[in-house]
Structure 1
Amino acid sequence: MNFLAHAYLGGEVAEHRLGGFLGDFVKGPLDNAPGGLPAEVLAGVELHRRLDSFAETHPAFCRSRERISPARRRVAGIMVDLFYDHFLARDWAEWSALAAGDLPRGLAQFSAGLYAQAEALGPALPQRLAAILPRMRGDDWLASYREPEIIALALDRMAQRFTRPSARMALCGAGAELLQDYAGFAADCRAFLPDAQAFARRWRQARGAPSAPPY
């Protein structure tokens, strides 16, 4: 899952949603995380990591990886992450109604709240995210994921960050595969998300996560 799905699965606690959103930018043990991130944001990062592990063995997610062409299989996980964000963004009104808490039915409102929360962290915001947050907010990356061509563009941009030529070549143009089996990926995502929601809910219950009002 990419930024949007991780934030969505953070549930009713705004700090958990923020931790899910920025989880890819926090590396290493969380009990020694730099930057002074609040405890509940770090809890959201922990949930992000647990959801990544959950996804790796989920049957629907595995089916999606198998749909990726053999030439791109090494980057299949990255592709499926973004494909699922596309379907979540496309059907946001439906999925937001099924979420824990009272998430905004408008995706632009939800994403604006996340960007504002991230910006409010100030110096505690991971530097790599701080560097791209103005562009992310200005172009509203999360809401733009509803368009398949934006997914293709995002994958092409990711390709440029890889140092290995083989990985760059595998990701470049990878967005075309979303359209080649669009219904299959959509069905996989629809099977995966409720199970991921249930997993996140069990994690919150086991942890005794506090309820919080929506932002």
Structure 2
Amino acid sequence: MNYLAHAWLARHSDDAILGALLGDFVFGQSGLEDWPTPVRAEIVRHRRIDRYTDDHPAVVAMRTRFGGLRRYAGIVLDVYFDHCLAQGWDRWNDAPLGAFTARIYRILEARRTELPGRLAALAPRMAAHDWLGSYARRESVDAAVRGISTRLSRNGDRLLACLDVLRADEDAAQATFETFFPELVRAAGAMLDAG
């Protein structure tokens, strides 16, 4: 899953949301030691959620539809699943999407001095352009993937090629989300209960 879904799955506390966002920026066991327990627990849960997502049969099946681009398909699907969540936000939430994304941006701003360099640099742009709220618009998926492709050390063109496959098979990607996401919500809840 991408930033919006990770943050939403951690909505029970601000520390948890921070940890969910840090999951892509804090590496290894030693990196965890720098964070208080609630943040650290959510970083670990982020990693478990990523593993669950990567191994989920519906997601695995969808990635195979990308053929030789399977390795990059997971990135595109993560972004697309955030789009699906944002587009169907009212189905999953009582509060508006804008209220939730504003909360995320407030958390990032309040904790800016603690953020790893890459996230500290990214957070103001994320808020200024409402990246997370913009996922409700389909064109934001393509824009996000184009941005990610420029940050890859190599094969950004292969990531971009995944967008053509996604456009051609978008109904299947949407169906994958519909199958997968409710199961992820239950699994993530169990991960939280298990500690």
Same fold flag (TM > 0.5): yes
Q: For 2:146, which of 133, 139, 156 is the aligned residue? A: 156
Q: Which moved more, 1:197-206 or 1:11-20?
A: 11-20
Taking the aligned partners of 1:136 and 1:55, their CA distance within structure 2 comes to: 24
Give ranges in structure 1 of 5+ residues lacking alignment: 98-104, 208-215
Residue 76 of structure 2 is matched in structure 1 by 79
1:96 aligns with 2:93: yes
**TM-fit CA distance, 1:168:** 1.2
* 1:51-130 mapped onto 2 (5 Å cutoff): 51-68=49-66, 70-97=67-94, 105-130=95-120
Identical aligned residues as a percent: 36
**TM-fit CA distance, 1:126:** 1.4
Using a 3 Å threshold, how does the CA distance of structure 1 residues 163 and 204 change in structure 2: closer, same or farther? closer
Residue 41 of structure 1 is matched in structure 2 by 39
Taking the aligned partners of 1:67 and 1:108, their CA distance within structure 2 comes to: 33
Taking the aligned partners of 2:177 and 2:5, their CA distance within structure 1 comes to: 11
Residue 139 of structure 1 is matched in structure 2 by 129
Check conservation: 1:87, 1:146, Cα contact below 8 A.
Answer: yes
**TM-fit CA distance, 1:156:** 1.0
Residue 25 of structure 2 is matched in structure 1 by 25
1:195 aligns with 2:183: yes
> Which letter does structure 2 place at the counterpart of 1:9?
L
TM-score, length-scaled by structure 1: 0.84
TM-score, length-scaled by structure 2: 0.92
More helix by share: 2
Deviations 1:31-87 (A, max 9, x none): 5436x433211111111000111112111111221222x242220111111111110
Using a 3 Å threshold, how does the CA distance of structure 1 residues 76 and 32 change in structure 2: closer, same or farther? closer
Q: CA RMSD in A?
A: 1.7
Secondary structure of the residue aligned to 2:143 is: helix
**TM-fit CA distance, 1:11:** 4.3
Using a 3 Å threshold, how does the CA distance of structure 1 residues 172 and 32 change in structure 2: closer, same or farther? closer
User: How many equivalent residue pairs?
Assistant: 195
Check conservation: 1:148, 1:175, Cα contact below 8 A.
Answer: no
**TM-fit CA distance, 1:106:** 1.0
